[in-house]
Each structure stands twice: as C-alpha cells, then as structure tokens.
Amino acid sequence: MRKPLKLVVVGVAMFFAVTAAYAATEVPDVVKLENKAYKKHTKGIVEFHHKKHAEAYAKDHPEFYKRGCGECHHDDQNKPLTNLKAGDDVKSCLECHKKLGEMPSKEKKAMRTAKLSKEERAKKELEYHAEAIHENCTGCHKLYNKKNKLKSKDPKAAPTTCKTCHPEK
C-alpha cells in the first residue's frame, strides 16, 4: 500500500514541477512599454530592447550590471531582485507605482516650495508610474553617458530625452 502512495506523491510533484516550468514568463527580445491602464498614450510607445540590455550590454559594460536583473527590477522596498533569471515572473511596475503618468508640474512646484529633502521628493515622485520608469531608464543612461564622456547628440550616447526614446506617433 505504501508503494502506490509514493508513486502518486511523486507523480503529483512531477506534475507541479513541469507545470511551474511551463508557467514561467517568456521574455521577449523587445518589450513594448505599453500598459492598458493608460486609456490614451500621449507619446509614442517605447520599445525596450530587453535582450540587448540583459545580454550584449551587460557583457560589454559589466560595471552597469553588477546586480544583474536587479539593476532594473526591484521589490516594493526598492531592493534589487538580484536572483531573477530569464523567464521568472516579475510584478508590473504599476503594482507599486500606482499613479498613472508623470507627477503634475503643480505638485512638483509645491514640493520645491515645501522644502522637502531630496529623498522625500524622490519618494513622492516615484509614486507616479511614468516618473519611476523614466528614473529607472534615464538615470542609468545618464551615468553611462557621463562615464563615457558622451553628449546627447553623440550616436553612441544612451537615450535620455523624450524624442530619443518615444517614437513619433
């Protein structure tokens, strides 16, 4: 009687292992940063070249990828998710950065007037989805350009402006 029970347990365990393997998210080479939460996009949709960043750029510029996937992906405490592997499920940025769009300029101005610390301002700005995405991408791109002494018009410069990331509609 024990042998059939063991076979059932092993069979069920294998089923869940195989199911979990197939349930992993396939990572496309290019990810369109288009979110259905936005009823209307005011700019063209950015196409993020995930494979280039995760493989080619990480190999050519390891100093910018010390935390692996954690350079871009983090938890709700902003702790890098350094143990991610291709295909692992990741949460949508909107799960934490819940306010759609960019922080309204009136609110930014009010923060400056309130004399909040840099950390307090950053925390409030990062509640906004677009602010978080922009900080994640352009923050790294600006560091790359600075390290390599590249100006924005240099063809080898990483994009840091609206027009260099967002295609025309």
pTM here?
0.77
Mean pLDDT of 138-145: 95
What distance in Å separates the CA atoms of residue 59 and residue 63, rounded to the nearest whole number? 9
Instruction: Check whether 39 has a pLDDT greater than 80.
Output: yes
Give start and end residues of each alpha helix (H) in the chain.
2-23, 50-51, 58-60, 105-113, 118-125, 129-147, 162-165
Task: With beta carbons less than 8 A apart as the criterion, state whether 97 and 127 touch.
Answer: yes
Q: Which domains does the chain have, with CATH numbers?
A: 27-165 (3.90.10)
Q: Which residues have C-beta within 8 Å of that of residue 150, sequence separation ≥ 6?
A: 144, 156, 157, 158
What distance in Å separates the CA atoms of residue 68 and residue 52, rounded to the nearest whole number? 13
What distance in Å separates the CA atoms of residue 129 and residue 127, rounded to the nearest whole number? 6
Q: What is the DSSP letter of 162?
A: H
25 vs 161: which has the higher pLDDT: 161
Instruction: Check whether 81 has a pLDDT greater than 90.
Output: yes
What is the three-class DSSP state of 120? helix
What distance in Å separates the CA atoms of residue 54 and residue 75, rounded to the nearest whole number? 19
The helix or strand, by DSSP H or E, that contains position 47, with its residue range, turns out to be strand 47-48
Instruction: Check whether 21 has a pLDDT greater than 90.
Output: no
What distance in Å separates the CA atoms of residue 125 and residue 128, rounded to the nearest whole number? 6
Query: What percent of the chain has a predicted confidence (pLDDT) above 70?
Result: 85
